[in-house]
Amino acid sequence: MNIVIVGAGAVGGYFGGKMVRAGVPVTFFVREKRYRQIEENGLRVKSVHGDFTVRPKLITKAEDAERPDFIVAAVKAYQLEGAFPALDVWVSQGAKVVSLLNGIEPVDRLLERYGGSAVLGGLNYIESTLDREGQIVQTSPMQEIVFGALSAENKPAASQLMQTLEPCDFKVTLSDDIKRDMWEKYLFLTVLSGMTSAARKPLGDILADREAALFMEDMLAELTRLARAEGITFQEDINTKIRGRFAAVPKTMTSSMYRDLAGGLPLELENLQGYAVRLGEKHRINVPCLRAVYALLHPYANGEASGPSSLA
């Protein structure tokens, strides 16, 4: 089996690096700058689970990949458009695309472009970032990939991928309802990213402030109403489950959006909070908390030369 990972950043680089260590045949599809960085220094990971460096196979052109079986898309949602030309080549050769992109909308776009027979849903739980030297820094115990078939015809392919990834040194789960699980992650991430970025504070500080915590509860309730309007049925009280997940993670936890905001980088705002605002309009559901967070962060959506002074 051949796996191509699109992106060697904080998510793709971390999980892909661990795949390489486990002997999984992985090729990274990267931009020229990242190619030179890894060629010179290796793919370096500093992690609470142990530091390591690997020297993986790298390509910058789609035609240089050996005919892949699976493509793991692990870039920012706003970078998906730029990856389509390469994905077009590989899907035409029979590859399945596994999305690890944040949110719901990217998978919808993949399904529209390639159809249900070529796309598997997926998500990840990890707190990681790239430092200035291109090293991946992973800072909390979470290291999990969840994926699954979006159609019955892809269940054999999903099972095959599960067997391939089982030896890897991270948690991997084959979901029997990946759409529901993606929505659960979407609720968690949209609240976490929106609150930490808008407040410019880590999760623990937000939970400790009564007004901020109440706003966070209201934001979660708005998202739950949107999920139900989209036909998502959760197995248990999802608000209680998400609250439990927030309580279990380190109080120092922020979000990739918070770190992108601090670094003056583009934000996944349209893919997360913006998508929720648009769903509210679609279903005529009032989402004042989501709209407020979206408005506060919108001036930073495209990034800026230097992050807000309060985060410097």
Q: What is the pLDDT along the chain (312 residues), one digit of tens a residue?
A: 899 999 999 999 999 999 999 999 999 999 999 999 999 999 999 999 999 999 999 999 999 999 999 999 999 999 999 999 999 999 999 999 999 999 999 999 999 999 999 999 999 999 999 998 999 999 989 999 999 999 999 999 999 999 999 999 999 999 999 999 999 999 999 999 999 999 999 999 999 999 999 999 999 999 999 999 999 999 889 999 999 999 988 899 999 999 999 999 999 999 999 999 999 999 999 999 999 999 999 999 999 854 554 554
The answer to whether residues 58 and 38 touch, using CB atoms and an 8 Å cutoff, is: yes
CA-to-CA dists, residue 58 to 7, 8, 25, angstroms: 10, 10, 12
Q: Where are the beta strands (DSSP E) in the chain?
A: 3-6, 26-29, 43-47, 52-54, 57-59, 70-73, 96-99, 119-130, 136-149, 171-174
d(CA 148, CA 59): 27
181-311 CATH pick, 2.60.120.260, 2.60.40.10, 3.90.550.10, 1.10.1040.10: 1.10.1040.10
Q: Which two tokens stand for residue 20?
A: 């390489």
pLDDT score at 17: 97
The angle, 0 to 180 degrees and rounded to 10, between the axes of the packed helices 105-114 and 80-92 is 40
pLDDT score at 22: 96
State the span(s) of the chain assigned CATH 3.40.50.720. 3-176
pLDDT score at 235: 83
The answer to whether residues 147 and 175 touch, using CB atoms and an 8 Å cutoff, is: yes
DSSP state of 154: G
Positive or negative torsion for Cα 15, 18, 23, 25: positive
Q: Is the pTM of this model over 0.85?
A: yes
Q: Which residues contact 26 (CB under 8 A, 6 or more apart)?
A: 3, 4, 5, 16, 19, 20, 56, 57
Q: Taking Cα atoms as reference points, which of 116, 56, 113 lies closest to residue 88?
A: 113
d(CA 115, CA 233): 24
Cβ-based burial of 306 (10 A; exposed 0-12, middle 13-18, buried ≥19): exposed
Q: What CATH number labels 3-176?
A: 3.40.50.720
State the span(s) of the chain assigned CATH 1.10.1040.10. 181-311
The answer to whether residues 27 and 3 touch, using CB atoms and an 8 Å cutoff, is: yes
pLDDT score at 312: 42
pLDDT score at 311: 53
d(CA 206, CA 245): 15
pLDDT score at 306: 47
Q: Where are the beta strands (DSSP E) in 176-298?
A: none
Q: Which residues contact 146 (CB under 8 A, 6 or more apart)?
A: 122, 123, 124, 125, 172, 173, 175, 178, 181, 185
